[in-house]
Structure 1
Amino acid sequence: MSGAEVKADGADVQPGGADVKSDAVEAEPSLTPGVRLGGLSFVWRPWVVLVTLLLAAATFLVFCLSIGVGDFPIGLPQVVATLLGRGEQVDEFVIMDLRMPRALAGLVVGVALGVSGAITQSIARNPLASPDILGITSGASATAVFLVTVSGGTAAAIVDSVGLSAAALAGGLGTGLLVYFLAWRRGVEGLRLILIGISVSAVMESITTWLLATADIRDVAQAQAWLVGSLDSREWNEVWVALWGTLALLVVVAVVAFQFKPMHLGDDVAAGLGVRFTAVRAVLLLCAVLLAGVAVSAAGPVPFVALVAPQVAMRLARCPTPPLVASALVGALLLIGADLVARTALPIGLPVGVVTAAIGGPFLVYLLVRANRR
């Protein structure tokens, strides 16, 4: 008799043992299925995938509706046909030459703000951490207002050669680096980062107010129109700069994001898994600052999108941390939808920043009340 037969006979003599083993196997928790592509592995979460696909469909629908609304209304089928290259010549001129820059700018800025907010909130492990709170947008605004309101030929030459968008991007980057270095103390702790960001933001807003109070009234009008945050009068050159800049930064985020996941378990666990969490955190925070700077340079400081989008995406996807792709789609959906509301649902046309502030203000109060209850 072979060993296999003896083992089988033993199982027949003690039937309870087989039952106990079967129960133990059935009691084991089922692991989340994964997908492996070459050297990369992914966790398969059907609900997250479904939510992401629905958000993508909703974003595309609102994007097409935004293009079709205007003094010359175009139906949704005609918009889709034009985007596919099968539209009429009149529709193609109205959509591609007149309305596409504004809609595409809203899409790019919303994606940039959504990803930027998701990164900062994940690094700080605090839902209040966003480019608005950390002073990045305030620094970009202060730099742009300085170049608009200051007098003198040197400043005018700088504005003409470099451009207001590049100046805002540089201001946001400088402010973000300042906040990071001030918050550094053998690492970056979330609460310290937020408190220093609030302080730097207050300083930058004070500088902006002082510049507006002492400048010429014509320069103040130009700066104030930019400070509200608007998608009006977008041009293709501005859209292309924002689009390629955002795509380049998203590639970097996608590469580094695989090493960022273990950091949610804590720095000690990440270090045990071989993750250089200090370098990864610095690279991701730099990408978040640059994404926020690109967004501000393209549309001005649109408030609260980077704060609201990751939190909404996290609740829809039922994830413990803000998902990057879903946050990008929610940011785009929120910004394009707010612009559509500002142009159609209100008695007068308002900048998109007014609508996002009306949405984000109550949501910020909700987050504060929820954190206070905890």
Structure 2
Amino acid sequence: MINESLEFIMAGRRQRQRRWVLVTGFLAVLSFILCGAMLLLGSTIYPVKDVFRALTGEQLQGVSFAVNTIRLPRMLAGLFAGFAFGLAGNTFQTMLRNPLANPNVIGITSGSSAAAVFCIIILHTSGGVVSIASVIAGLATVLFIYLLSRGKAFSVGRLILIGIGLQAMLDAMISYLLLVGAQQDIPEALRWLTGSLNGAQMHELPPLVATFFIFAPIVILLGKHLSILELGEQSAASLGIDTDKTRILLIVSSVIMIAVATATTGPIAFVAFLSGPIAKRLVGVGFSNVIPAGLVGVNLVLGGDLIGQFAFAYRYPVGIITGILGAPYLILLLIRMNRKGEL
């Protein structure tokens, strides 16, 4: 009887593992296909062999400039920023056990955005200064929200409400900066606020790439601890998890990744919000959905950018496409949580 039960449990585990491998593999292949499409498609569609020759350093008239200067930076920005948004959003939602607890909703992205717009409009700076200011503002926003939400005891609901209120204040600050800013700076700030891969350049990507390779492995390695934290503080501590240290590492890593990604591409709407739930629905329970969430983020950003470029008569930034996808889901989620008494 015991052997039969054990075999049944192991069979279920193998089935869930196969599902995780298949889903993750599919998402990775889809990401690879979208990366290729980003390099091949544009005002001129180039053959695969010409794109490959241009990427390997061969100089081809027209092709080398279009691929290496315009399309490759755009693709890399979407790839690394999308993975960062997906990882960070899933981390906050899982750790705080609430689908609304993501950087877009609780004000972290708005904090980074306000700092970036201040740098662009008031200080007239760009590039590295904007990235540093966004990281500092994102960390400061998280710390401020956490301190205000503690009270006598930490409350996720209080954190979300405070975050929403702070987001409204920061959005008002951004609107004020746009009103008082010089006319020549406003288009750049608006393009940045929309969330766009337009104008991505290779020299702007090193902070994003370096941040990703430093902090994404931390979040991935702590993925199993993240699933245990979802069980609650006491359960995680009883299983030997240093909850405070793990939570700090996850929060700092996620905030830095999303702040630098936001500084590079702007706040691409709802990618951090959608990636975790989509990955969880695809992967199921039993295994960490950290990597699938990152891959979903990549597919949302790259797919949304391709749709914005080629599906309509006019070209739209990726943030508009992801916003169209995310807004209905947010409304449905709020209705569902209200019916369950979670709001």
Query: 1:232 aligned to 183, 198, 201, which one?
Result: 198
Could you tell me which of 135, 155, 164 is aligned with 2:107?
135
Supply the distance in 1 between the matched residues of 2:96 and 2:40 (Cα, whole angstroms): 40
Q: What is the rounded CA distance, in whole Å, between the counterparts of 1:135 and 1:201 in structure 2?
A: 4
Q: Quote how far apart the aligned CAs of 1:255 are.
A: 3.4
Contact 2:223/2:288 (<8 A) preserved: no
* Counterpart pick for 2:250 among 284, 308, 311: 284
Could you tell me how far apart the structure 2 residues matched to 1:34 and 1:92 are?
Answer: 51
The AA in structure 2 aligned to 1:30 is: F
Query: Is the alpha carbon distance of 1:239 and 1:67 closer, same or farther for their aligned partners in structure 2, counting shifts above 3 Å?
Result: same
How many residue pairs get matched? 339
The one-letter code matched in structure 1 to 2:212 is T
Could you report, residue by residue, the CA deviation over 1:157-214 in whole angstroms, capped at 9, with x for unpaired residues?
Answer: xx26952232222222221221122223466432222111111111111111122222
CA distance in 2, matches of 1:315, 1:160: 39
CA shift at 1:27, angstroms? 4.7
Report the CA distance shift for 1:273/1:69 in structure 2 as closer, same or farther (over 3 A). Answer: same
Cα distance change, pair 170–296 in 1 and its aligned pair in 2 (3 A): same
Gaps of 5+ in 2: none
Residue 145 (str. 1) matches residue 111 (str. 2):
no
State the partner residue of 1:359. Answer: 325
Alignment match, 1:18: none
Distance 1:349 1:285 in 2: 35
CA contact (8 A) 1:114 1:332 kept: yes
Tell me if structure 2 keeps the 8 A contact 1:112–1:294: no
Q: Decide whether the 8 Å contact of 2:111 with 2:141 is kept in 1.
A: yes
Q: Aligned Cα RMSD in Å?
A: 2.7
Residue matched to 1:265: 231
Structure-2 residue corresponding to 1:340: 306
Q: Matches of 2:166 and 2:244 in 1, distance apart?
A: 23
CA–CA distance in structure 2, aligned partners of residues 292 and 188 of structure 1: 24
Q: CA deviation at 1:87?
A: 7.9
SS at match of 2:220: helix
Give secondary structure in 2 for the equivalent of 1:230. coil
Q: State whether structure 2 residue 222 is matched by structure 1 residue 256.
A: yes
Inter-partner Cα distance in structure 1 for 2:15 and 2:213: 24
Alignment of 1:185-224 (within 5 A): 185=151, 188-224=154-190
| 249-258 or 23-32: bigger deviation | 23-32
- Deviations along 1:311-344, one digit per CA (max 9) or x if unpaired, are 1111011137971100000000000000001111
TM-score using structure 1 length: 0.83
Distance 2:287 2:152 in 1: 24
Which residue identity does 2:176 align to in structure 1?
W
3-state DSSP of counterpart to 2:9: coil
In 1, are the aligned partners of 2:111 and 2:137 still within 8 Å (CA)? yes
Q: 3-state SS of the aligned residue for 1:218?
A: coil
The answer to whether the 8 A contact 2:227-2:288 is kept is no
CA contact (8 A) 2:114 2:174 kept: yes
Q: Which residue of structure 2 aligns with residue 50 of structure 1? A: 22
Q: In 2, distance between residues paired with 1:321 and 1:257?
A: 9
Distance in 2 (alpha carbons) for counterparts of 1:357 and 1:296: 15
Give the 3-state SS of the residue equivalent to 1:217 in structure 2: coil
Q: Is the 8 A contact 1:47 1:317 kept in 2?
A: yes
TM-score normalised by L of structure 2: 0.90
CA contact (8 A) 1:124 1:189 kept: no
Taking structure 1 as reference, are residues 182 and 226 closer, same or farther at Cα in structure 2, changes over 3 Å only? same
Q: Residue 90 of structure 2 aligns with which residue?
A: 118
Query: Following the alignment from structure 1 to structure 2, what is the Cα–Cα distance between the partners of residues 364 and 253?
Result: 25
Amino acid at match of 1:226: W
The question of whether the paired residues in 2 share the 8 Å contact of 1:108 and 1:246 is answered with yes
* Greater shift in the superposed pair: 175-184 or 239-248: 175-184
Change in 2 beyond 3 A, CA 1:160/1:259 = closer
For the pair shown, the structure with the greater C-alpha radius of gyration is 1
Deviations 1:259-309 (A, max 9, x none): 333222221121112211122112211212111101101101111000011
**Structure 1 partner of 2:9:** 31
**One-letter amino acid matched to 2:233:** D
- Structure 2 counterpart of 1:128, one-letter code: L
Q: Is the 8 A contact 2:70 2:201 kept in 1?
A: no
Paired with 1:34 and 1:115, the residues of 2 have a C-alpha distance of 27
